[in-house]
Amino acid sequence: MSKPIVLHIDHVSKTFGGLDALSNVHLDIREGETHAIIGPNGAGKSTLLNVCVGGLEPTKGKVLLAGTELTGRRPFEINQLGVARVFQTPEIFADLTVVENVMMAMLSHRDGAFRLRLLSRFGDRSETGLRATKALTDLGLGGHLNHLAGALSRGDKRRLELVMSVVQQPKLLLLDEPTAGMARADTNATIDILRKFKESGMTIVIIEHDMHVVFSLADRITVLAGGRVIAQGLPDEIKGNPKVVEAYLGE
């Protein structure tokens, strides 16, 4: 029996002026799968993710999370429903420590000012603080707990963001090129972290350019080109697909 559908992208199109960034994209993501979305620059990958998190309204079609319609909702509300995202620019609180950043993420159902008051009251010895410390230690950031997040290396900032997303225990994690601009060692550390998420049963959608990352993690792959799905299948089916090879020519 196949697993339940977590994310249902139902015939989504998005036009910008006269440009069809997405044309009739239909895609189901099942519980526990790691699904990679690949395709040349300008294929519509980021647009598709933005439509899922409420950053953009589709021109046609809709997106559902476990049967609940996401289309038309605000990004904050979609996050509350269980969609966590890690985008190309790290979204961290530079003036808070690493452990405080993770505590803020754990308290994400509260508004910002209230969370800051809670933080000053809780401290990192509270239960929330200890859980944050454990998550950071498990994922290799234990040496930076009390450093200011703004002072971390680029790779560690991305890693911190991953920890912040996972402590929210999302139903779905969306990643837009999480290893972009990373050196090989940081990329491999990121693969290790995502593998742990995957082993814990998390459902993951990852947009990724680096084929080493894609083939290390993906259970299934969707290939976008010119806003359309041109291929979909298991990694081995995608690897040798002539349409995919053709789409990447001239990159």
Residues that bind ligand ADP (CB under 6 A): 16, 19, 21, 39, 41-47
Residue 50 or 128: the one with the smaller Cβ distance to Mg ion is 50
Nearer to ligand ADP, 132 or 175 (CB): 175
- Per CB under 5 A, which region of 24-32, 37-45, 92-100, 111-119 contacts Mg ion? 37-45
Structure token pair of residue 6: 């977590």
Which positions from 125 to 164 touch Mg ion by CB under 5 A, shown as an x/- string?
A: ----------------------------------------
Q: Is 46 in the site for Mg ion (CB under 5 A)?
A: yes
Identify the sign of the CA torsion 216, 176, 43, 11: positive
Q: How far is the CB of 17 from ligand ADP (least distance, A)?
A: 7
Residue closer to ligand ADP (CB basis): 45 or 73: 45
Please name which of 163, 168, 206 lies closest in space to residue 52, comparing C-alpha atoms.
206
Q: Which stretch binds Mg ion (CB under 5 A): 11-19, 38-46, 123-131, 196-204?
A: 38-46
Choose between 149 and 213: whose C-beta lies nearer to Mg ion: 213
Residue 42: contacted member of ligand ADP, Mg ion, none (CB under 5 to 8 Å, by partner type): ligand ADP
Residue 218 · residue 35 · CB < 8 Å: yes
Which of residues 42 and 233 has its CB atom nearest to ligand ADP in the complex? 42
In whole angstroms, the minimum distance from the beta carbon of 70 to ligand ADP comes to 18
Residue 35, contacted partner among Mg ion, ligand ADP, none, CB below 5-8 A by kind: none
Q: Are 195 and 184 in contact (CB under 8 A)?
A: no
How far are the Cα atoms of 41, 57, 60, 144, 186 from residue 20, in angstroms, in the given order? 14, 14, 11, 44, 35
In this structure, what is the dihedral angle of CA atoms 68, 73, 76, 78, given to the nearest 10 degrees? 20
In the complex, the smallest distance separating the C-beta of residue 223 from Mg ion, rounded to whole angstroms, is: 14
What are the residue ranges of helices labelled H in the chain? 45-53, 75-80, 98-106, 112-122, 127-138, 154-166, 184-199, 211-217, 235-239, 242-248
- Give which of ligand ADP, Mg ion, none residue 16 binds (C-beta under 5 to 8 Å, depending on kind): ligand ADP
CB 51 within 8 A of CB 23: no
C-alpha distances out from residue 196 to 140, 192, 199, 219, 249, Å: 12, 6, 5, 14, 34
- Residues 203, 32: contact at Cβ < 8 Å? yes
Q: 97 vs 190, which CB is nearer to Mg ion?
A: 190
143 or 181: whose CB is closer to Mg ion?
Answer: 181
Residue 9 binding result from Mg ion, ligand ADP, none, given CB thresholds of 5 to 8 Å by partner type:
none
Residue 110 is classified by DSSP as S
List 64's β-bridge partners, or say none. 8, 69
Q: Which does 43 bind (CB under 5 to 8 A by kind): ligand ADP, Mg ion, none?
A: ligand ADP
Residues at the site binding Mg ion, with contacts judged by CB under 5 A: 45-46
